[in-house]
Amino acid sequence: MSEIFLSVVIPAYNEEENLKRGVLDEVYNFLSKQSYPWEVLVVDDGSTDLTIKLSESFAEKHSGFRVFAQPHRGKGGTVIAGMLKAKGDIVLFTDMDQATPIAQLAKLLPKFDQGYEVAIGTRTGRKGANPIRKLMAYGFVVLRTVILRLPYKDTQCGFKAFSRNVIKPIFERMRVFDENQLVVGSAVTAGFDLELLYIARKLRYKVAEVPVEWMEKGSRGDFGVNPIKDSWEGFRDLIKVRMNALMGKYKV
């Protein structure tokens, strides 16, 4: 058992507007009311705005928060780096914009007492999402079911928690995304969640699906969507995961 019960990993790439909106206050206000010891790791993905400065300023005034500056590698590599640094018995990664509010964690934690090793948030309705994003999501569900045979309703929700003992076995096996990967510009990482869930299933870990609240937030939201480019990159990552599996790169 660790001295810290819960670690929260928050990847951050050019999140200045969300930080000014007070998203870290939302996280702190929830966690400060809990009876268990916790930590929050803000992992900066090579931001070019005031993300680092604002995050560090917040951490100086709020105990339990740590900030790590990383080279730009996209959300996948940034989350992996944070997960491997986390010290908690349970480790959650969540998006900075708090599209799924941190309070939804209360729905995930009981699953670990029930014997699950991974608990993933699943979204219903996707309130506020652009119709194009909904269409892309539906197409992705079909492809991931056919190609990877993943049985989960929602693989892409950025709200997933893991028991400490499964983190290294999952994240150190990842090949499409890893903590040393470098990218240029914004990076869609649809395959990141697919790869980690594929590995978790291959390792026979018990995965709980938990319905959570979700709403599109943040200034970048739909404006960062390029249907053709993003769909192609998602499909490419699906194929990469499948090829890695066929070549035995996720061997247990």
Domains of the chain, each with CATH number or no CATH = 6-246 (3.90.550.10)
CA–CA dist 8, 127 (Å, integer): 24
Question: What is residue 133's predicted lDDT score, i.e. its pLDDT?
Answer: 59
Question: What is residue 221's predicted lDDT score, i.e. its pLDDT?
Answer: 41
Please give the radius of gyration of the chain, using alpha carbons only, rounded to the nearest integer: 17
CA–CA dist 122, 197 (Å, integer): 13
Q: What is the pLDDT of residues 90-143, one digit of tens each?
A: 999 999 999 999 999 999 999 999 999 999 999 876 555 556 555 556 566 667
Question: What is residue 220's predicted lDDT score, i.e. its pLDDT?
Answer: 45
pTM for the whole structure? 0.86
Cα three-residue angle 6-77-247, rounded to 5 degrees: 110
Provide the 3-class DSSP secondary structure of residue 234: helix
Q: Can you point out the beta strands (E) in the chain?
A: 6-12, 38-45, 65-70, 90-94, 118-123, 159-163, 207-212
Question: What is residue 147's predicted lDDT score, i.e. its pLDDT?
Answer: 73
Question: What is residue 140's predicted lDDT score, i.e. its pLDDT?
Answer: 65
Question: What is residue 238's predicted lDDT score, i.e. its pLDDT?
Answer: 84
Q: Phi and psi at residue 219, in whole multiples of 5°?
A: -70, -25
Quickly list DSSP for 70-128.
E---HHHHHHHHHHHH---SEEEEE-TT-SS-GGGHHHHHHHHHTT-SEEEEEESS-BT
Distances (CA, A) of 128 to 102, 110, 133, 134, 228: 18, 29, 10, 10, 21
Question: What is residue 215's predicted lDDT score, i.e. its pLDDT?
Answer: 85
Question: What is residue 113's predicted lDDT score, i.e. its pLDDT?
Answer: 97
Could you say which DSSP state residue 223 is in?
G
Helix axes 74-85, 190-202, angle to 10 degrees: 50
pLDDT beneath 50, residues of the chain: 184, 218-224
